[in-house]
Structure 1
Amino acid sequence: MLIDGLQCGHFTRETFADLRQADVGCVTVTCGFWEDAVESLDSLAKWRDLIAANADLVATARTAADIRAIVASGRTALLMGYQNAELFQGRIRLVELFAELGVRCIQLTYNNQNSLGGSCYEDEDSGLARYGRQVIDEMNRCGMLVDLSHVGNRTTMDAIRYSKKPVAITHANPDSLFPHKRNKTDDVIAALRDNGGVIGCATYRNITGDEYCRTAEKWCEMVARTVEIAGIDHVGIGTDRSHNFTKPDYDWMRMGRWTRGVDLGASPASRPGKAPPPDWFVALTDIALIEKGLATVGFSPDEVAKIANGNWLRVYEDVFGG
């Protein structure tokens, strides 16, 4: 059974069926990137309708116990998440309200500086703001996982040190293995380990690199090298797989409403459009290759289980309860 720390895109019944076929037990889905509070509520309501229409395949999870029960029922558990904190609109009380609506994972910043702290693409990372500390306090209290994937390294380090609960880098890789602004430095990953958190290794080609995308075993070698940095108890899967995105979706994801120009996000200028999937991960069902690949590169059955699901479940229990 696999737990994927983050996917995004337009999910359909076919997507859910593929998740079931690949024995994916839980996925954190992306409900928004740049949206404000009302737009985020609208997205969450649409997700509720989609899940209700496919209740034989998926269900919403709020606790680790929910995840286990949903998996035992033969379905995939979905955790509701957002890749930006813009949905709070500077209103600290909205953290608790969104938590009560079932939101369980929020990234502090997306690709731009915001009122909580700095992003990975700013020339100067401002660090965690006073408001950012207040939001982390509320997220800790209300049972929301703090996600630091697109957050700048200084702000990430501040957040790791400040949070009273384990935090996560749901979809990134070590910068020492593939240098990229979206990836995390070894000292940040070590701090995450000390916090009790988890880094979800990504399969997104732009932050993984062509070499680690060649085969499932090569990608699992990258996971093994991440374990050397973080430790076996602090590495999971966070593919960053997108579903059914077209150019307008990528434009919104990368540029939102903040620029009149062109921003490529994580893409190099030589490959400005959609990044090709890893050579081994063309169909969503190929995610099932990961557990075999982990065993092939030398992980024991117990270690495979930790990376595949156990480490995420531990963090979810610590943060959500259950």
Structure 2
Amino acid sequence: MQSPSASYRGHQAYGYLEPGVDYADFELAEQIGRVPAYDGGVSAEQSERVSRIMAEHIVISLHEHAVVLPKDVGELRRYNRTGRQRTGYEGLSRSGMTAVFDNFMAGASCVTSENGWKWNDMIYALGLRLADIAKQDYVVHALTVDDIRAAKRDGRMALVAGLESATMIENELDRLDILYGFGVRQIGVAYSQANQLGSGLAERADAGLTNFGRRAVERMNRLGMAIDISHSGDRTCLEVIEHSAVPVFITHAGARAVWPTNRMKPDEVIRACAERGGVIGLEAAPHTTLSEEHREHSLESVMDHFTYCVDLVGIDHVTFGPDTMFGDHVGVHKTYAGNYAQNRDAAPDHPNVAYVDGLENPAENFTNIVGWLVKHGYGDDDISKVIGGNTLRVLDHVW
């Protein structure tokens, strides 16, 4: 974990309002020190190199939820029903990141519905948090690649607004334009369940990209909105990749050859994404990117997926989208387990963990990732690619 950014002046979420009067107050999870610090076995000399690399290069997380959860995860649904999730400014200030793709937890912003992905609920999640971001001067809402580069120059944090699914646009293609106008620059096709655009990875059958989905892909291309296929079914992924005029992202997933579940991507999809210029970001949500060698989920498990993907498609097409937040991520999964009709495909037995050691929240992720890469002999040029350079290359093309 890095020292706090000199540009961070202590802003706390919704600090311009009075808690308990203007909005419901909750005791929040710790942004720093919620779980024991990760011991990656990095020497003092290696640690100095980690700090230098992160200071010199643009660091981008391709997928996070940079919000702070309630300390008592039993209050999570009540918290999310307010629509007013808290950005973790303090934790972000210690992350060493230049930019974060924040996916706004729209599927859990259940203001009007317990089932998520409703248009009005998504507007709550997006609008309230962007209003708060506008009231402080450390995190900047990034709309262009130049905004990301300017954040690096100015010592600030660029936040890219993303959504994990286009479900809430229903059959209204112009809603993509509205989202772009609100500042959304990345959107997923489907979140596990099928929608008007295509099939999710949890469905028993994958019908592929619909005719409406083809039009949506074309509209996103014209707008300059990055497309994510992380939660789409395999056929839908391949058809999105083929139909898009520009590269697409797998913002947060892993390799099915390493851990055989539907949440991971098969070689065919990873290769197709890379062949069209795209990038896969390695996922670290609890109990996803496991491996036979490291069944207890940790940074080591995730890096087994990293090395596999680098061998498969080359280092120019791999990055990291850890998919973490500040608080009990395992508790989030338990809270919302009944919201989506998941395909409970058989997975190898593995231990349950309370958190992913080394990749528990956005404050620590990239310090530990770069530490692992340094310890395992990767050069500065390759490290710079996988911690941000590859993502910037795609964004230069897509945006």
TM-score, length of structure 1 as denominator length: 0.88
Offset, 1:276: 2.9
Q: Does 1:227 align with 2:293?
A: no
What is the CA distance between 1:72 and its match in structure 2? 1.8
Between 143-152 and 30-39, report the one with greater CA deviation.
30-39
Larger radius of gyration: 2
Aligned AA (1:199): I
Match of 2:364, SS state, is: helix
Residues 128, 167 of structure 1: alpha-carbon distance in 2 compared, 3 angstrom cutoff = same
Q: Contact conserved, 2:64 with 2:362, CA < 8 A, in 1? A: no
TM-score, reference length from structure 2 = 0.72
Structure 2 partner of 1:315? 394
2:232 to 143, 148, 151: 151
Greater mean deviation of Cα atoms: 242-251 or 191-200: 242-251
Give 1:37's aligned residue. 119
User: Cα offset for 1:289?
Assistant: 1.4
1:10 aligns with 2:10: no
Partner residue in 1 for 2:98: 25
Superposed counterparts of 1:1-322, under 5 Å: 1=54, 2-8=59-65, 10-11=67-68, 15-31=88-104, 32-33=106-107, 34-53=116-135, 55-209=136-290, 211=294, 216=299, 219-244=302-327, 249-250=332-333, 253-256=336-339, 276-282=354-360, 284-287=362-365, 288-320=367-399
Deviations 1:34-78 (A, max 9, x none): 32222222221111122124x232111011111111222212111
Alpha-carbon distance, 1:80 to partner:
0.6
Residues 28 and 168 from structure 1, CA distance in 2 versus in 1: closer, same or farther, beyond 3 angstroms?
same
Asked if structure 2 preserves the Cα contact closer than 8 Å seen for 1:206 and 1:268, the reply is: no
Counterpart AA for 1:22: S
Residues 258, 304 of structure 2: 8 Å contact kept: no
Give the Cα separation in 2 of the matches to 1:183 and 1:246.
19
State the alpha-carbon separation in 2 of the partners of residues 247 and 307 from structure 1: 27
In 1, Cα distance between equivalents of 2:383 and 2:177: 35
Shift of 1:216: 4.0
Unaligned runs of 5+ in 2: 1-53, 69-84, 108-115
CA contact (8 A) 2:324 2:360 kept: no
- Distance in 1, matches of 2:346 and 2:359, equals 19
Task: Quote the sequence identity (%).
Answer: 29
SS in 1 for 2:260: coil
Structure 2 contact 279–391 (Cα < 8 Å) conserved: yes
**Does the aligned pair in 2 maintain the 1:205–1:213 contact within 8 Å?**
no
- d(CA) in 1 for partners of 2:267, 2:168: 31
Structure 1 residues 8 and 108, CA gap change in structure 2 (3 angstroms): same
Structure 1, unaligned stretches of length 5 or more?
none
Question: Are the structure 2 counterparts of residues 264 and 117 from structure 1 closer, same or farther at C-alpha, using a change threshold of 3 Å?
Answer: closer
> How many corresponding residue pairs?
314
1:143-170 CA-to-partner distances (Å, cap 9, x unmatched) read: 1111000100110011011100110000
- Aligned 8 A contact 2:290 2:302 in 1: no
Between Structure 1 and Structure 2, the one with more helix by share is 1
User: Which amino acid in the other structure matches residue 60 of structure 2?
Assistant: I
Q: Write the letter of the residue equivalent to 2:91.
A: D
Displacement of 1:200 in angstroms is 0.2
1:174 is paired with a residue whose SS is coil
- Are the structure 2 counterparts of residues 219 and 84 from structure 1 closer, same or farther at C-alpha, using a change threshold of 3 Å? closer
- Whole-Å Cα distance in 2 between the matches of residues 188 and 278 of structure 1? 26
Q: CA–CA distance in 1 between the matches of 2:188 and 2:168? A: 11
Residues 300 and 201 of structure 1: CA distance in aligned 2, closer, same or farther (over 3 Å) = same
> Which of 188-197 and 6-15 deviates more?
6-15
